[in-house]
Structure 1
Amino acid sequence: MAPDRPRAVLVLTNTYDVTADVVLRILADRRVPVVRADPGADLLTGAPLTAHYRTGEQRGTLHTSSRELDLTRVRSVWVRRPSPFEAPPGLDEHTAKFVGAQAFWGSGGIIASLPGAHYVNHPWHIRNAEYKPAQLAAASRNGYLVPNTIITTDPEEARRFCTDQPGGAVYKPLWDSRYRAEDGTARTVWVREVRPAEITDAVSVCPHMFQAKVDKAFDVRVTAVGDRLFGVRIDSPDLDWRHRQDLMTCAPIEVPESVAHAITSYLAELLLVYGVFDFAVTAGGDWYFLECNPNGQWAWQPAETTAAIAQAIADQLERGPDS
């Protein structure tokens, strides 16, 4: 890329990411140069990535099927849904592990260290902000209402906690891990109500998270892009509205000033530009923090909200490090 040309936006995502397409169309209409890449997959097809370092100098190039990107000429990086760094097929187990690790630490490190680039969000900040304990701790520090929560490997502690919650308790996985039943079918672990008698000694195998059940009237999802907030009320017959999304209804909702202030301070503490917050709202109007996904989905929301979020993300990427 010639030095006199505008700096490009680098979008890291997989081939099938239709959500990214919404923002890419906006950037194309604005004539903002964009390079779309999926390093984890592209490296397996022979797309070269090179970085040079010396005293006082850093430079490099990223090749895609149609473009060559000067890594010193990147204004913004949108970390959307890139494929994981893995080894190519056909290698033995130990070699594959070595190659996959080298790709993660090498290629991933190059992409995460581009000089002067504005990240939405930085991949290291995404990972740090995905830990549920870190989310709860940050939420508590930044003024949110947080449901009573325990994370434990002690079955007795878990039973005692669930017994002590007057409105009942729920179980939540600490990570959206892939799970398969004994017959090989894929399963999703939803948030579910749990009774003390259901808790077995299997809790000791790994940390489990139990939380006081919020007597909610409805759920809210707030998508934060910089200082712009987009709230959606979610009404669902299910405890976990994600379970049967065909049964839920959504409508835009105003975010209370106290919650907006907490969101701003939360993002600042965790060094995030973008975050998707989930709340349970009681009949009395109390907003309880449930979680914040630093790379959450948003294109399923009402059309006017989806369009506004796409414009806000495009604004962030276009402005670059001055955002």
Structure 2
Amino acid sequence: MARQASRDRTPMILILSTPRDEHAQVVMAELMKLDAPAMLLDLSDYPQRSSFSMKYERHGLALELGCSEGGLDLDDCGAVWWRRPQWPEISTAIVRDTHRNFAVNECTEALHGLWQSLDARWINEPARDLFAQRKSYQLKVAQTVGLEVPDTLITNCPDAVREFVMRQGMGNVIFKSFSATEAEWRETRLLREEEMGVIDNVRYTPVIFQRYIEADVDLRITVVGDEIFAAAIHSQQTSYKVDFRMDIAHARIEAVSLPPDVARRLLDLMRYLGLVYGAIDMRRTPDGRYVFLEVNPAGQWLFTELPAGLPISCAIARKLREFDA
């Protein structure tokens, strides 16, 4: 099947996630209201339960999902949402670890080649999404665009930690990890004096240490293109004031407006990072300062959309339809 001219293309939006992703399902429902055809692709089905082909022939390139002539023409895909792509699942028939690693690498190489070959617009483009996830780079970019960030130390040097804590003062330092999963959840914590006795353990792996930012409210700011949806999370009225995620069920959440200069700098941050979508965490201090903490290129938003009445899902659907036009 040859690549068709864009005027003959049948519009199609591709969503890379899992059927268990509630956020993806809500956006698919919004796309249905907009009569925008969309398909959810679960990459954990690949290569055991799904397949694709890339055909380079004299008349051009054809990208197809499926093995038969009735397969889906990926040339029709004008927009892709890099929502929560799953890892390929390798067959248990491949037993040796070295062979399984080889199979994973081959699948990953083929898939990334496919994504880069699509003539589509992305939320977010995978390479930029990966780059933007780096917390240390986020802080650099935030400073570059004029946002305030906490004093931060990222290190595996115990003496550097001791010096940082001495300068900031005990009780004024939090520590957090670069990543967390459902299986290995790691909340942000205040560093306690008794933990200084085991601070030498940081030599095993780097840790992020930051000045603790006192909050009036936490802010979850969801950006879709040039649209900003800001929600205030009244975390200081919950049982865990350091990390709003720990007691979000009891937090009051409401829509708020941002100062124009803060909004402008956040859009600058998104453009610098090359992101169309991002979920940004900030804190508004009791004296009215806005302090940037981090941005998640695939962060959740329903927990603010529903209580605060923010039309984020609709905005994502509109942006995908715009990209697919």
| TM-score, normalising length: structure 1 | 0.90
- How far residue 177 of structure 1 moved from its aligned partner, in angstroms, is 5.0
Is residue 230 of structure 2 the alignment partner of residue 228 of structure 1? no
Is residue 190 of structure 2 the alignment partner of residue 193 of structure 1? yes
User: What percent identity do the matched residue pairs reach?
Assistant: 29
Counterparts of residues 21-40 of structure 1 (less than 5 Å): 21-40=25-44
Amino acid at match of 1:141: T
In structure 1, which of residues 296, 313, 321 is the aligned counterpart of residue 316 of structure 2?
313
- How far residue 5 of structure 1 moved from its aligned partner, in angstroms, is 5.1
In structure 1, distance between residues paired with 2:23 and 2:66: 23
* Contact 1:154/1:203 (<8 A) preserved: yes
Is residue 178 of structure 2 the alignment partner of residue 174 of structure 1? yes
In structure 1, distance between residues paired with 2:148 and 2:310: 30
- How far residue 74 of structure 1 moved from its aligned partner, in angstroms, is 1.0
* Contact 1:170/1:192 (<8 A) preserved: yes
Give the CA RMSD over aligned residues: 2.3
Gaps of 5+ in 1: 179-185
* Contact 1:279/1:291 (<8 A) preserved: yes
Closer, same or farther in 2 for the Cα pair 1:261/1:111, shift >3 Å? same
**Equivalent position of 2:104 in the other structure:** 100
Please identify which structure carries the higher helix content.
2
**Equivalent position of 2:12 in the other structure:** 8
Is residue 295 of structure 2 the alignment partner of residue 296 of structure 1? no
Closer, same or farther in 2 for the Cα pair 1:230/1:96, shift >3 Å? same
Amino acid at match of 2:185: T
- SS of match in other structure, 2:53: strand
Counterparts of residues 79-228 of structure 1 (less than 5 Å): 79-92=82-95, 93-115=97-119, 117-166=120-169, 168-176=172-180, 186-195=183-192, 198-199=195-196, 200-228=199-227
- How far residue 306 of structure 1 moved from its aligned partner, in angstroms, is 6.0
In structure 2, distance between residues paired with 1:275 and 1:40: 24
Amino acid at match of 1:223: T
* Contact 1:72/1:114 (<8 A) preserved: yes
- SS of match in other structure, 1:43: coil
Amino acid at match of 1:208: V
- SS of match in other structure, 2:244: coil
- SS of match in other structure, 1:81: coil
* Contact 1:230/1:305 (<8 A) preserved: no
**Equivalent position of 2:262 in the other structure:** 259
Closer, same or farther in 2 for the Cα pair 1:305/1:54, shift >3 Å? farther
Is residue 16 of structure 2 the alignment partner of residue 17 of structure 1? no
In structure 1, distance between residues paired with 2:132 and 2:163: 29
**Equivalent position of 2:274 in the other structure:** 271
**Equivalent position of 1:49 in the other structure:** 52
In structure 2, distance between residues paired with 1:306 and 1:53: 48
Please identify which structure carries the higher strand content.
1
* Contact 1:86/1:99 (<8 A) preserved: no
Could you list the structure 1 runs, at least 4 aligned residues long, displaced by more than 4 angstroms after superposition: 304-307
In structure 2, distance between residues paired with 1:55 and 1:249: 61
In structure 1, distance between residues paired with 2:103 and 2:309: 39
* Contact 1:159/1:197 (<8 A) preserved: no
In structure 1, distance between residues paired with 2:92 and 2:256: 48
Farther-moved stretch of structure 1 (205-214 vs 189-198): 189-198
- How far residue 270 of structure 1 moved from its aligned partner, in angstroms, is 1.1
- SS of match in other structure, 2:110: helix
- SS of match in other structure, 1:300: helix
Amino acid at match of 1:83: Q
* Contact 1:160/1:196 (<8 A) preserved: no
In structure 2, distance between residues paired with 1:225 and 1:69: 29
- How far residue 222 of structure 1 moved from its aligned partner, in angstroms, is 0.2
In structure 2, distance between residues paired with 1:286 and 1:249: 21
* Contact 1:22/1:310 (<8 A) preserved: yes
* Contact 2:12/2:324 (<8 A) preserved: no
Gaps of 5+ in 2: none
Closer, same or farther in 2 for the Cα pair 1:210/1:276, shift >3 Å? same
- SS of match in other structure, 1:53: strand
* Contact 2:219/2:231 (<8 A) preserved: yes
- How far residue 196 of structure 1 moved from its aligned partner, in angstroms, is 5.7
| TM-score, normalising length: structure 2 | 0.89
Amino acid at match of 2:190: E
- SS of match in other structure, 1:272: coil
Closer, same or farther in 2 for the Cα pair 1:149/1:56, shift >3 Å? farther
Q: How many residues align?
A: 312
Per-residue CA deviations over 1:220-270 (Å, capped at 9, x if unaligned) read: 000000000000000123210111222211100112111111111111111
- SS of match in other structure, 2:54: strand
* Contact 1:168/1:195 (<8 A) preserved: no
* Contact 2:16/2:41 (<8 A) preserved: yes
Amino acid at match of 2:62: R
- How far residue 149 of structure 1 moved from its aligned partner, in angstroms, is 0.1
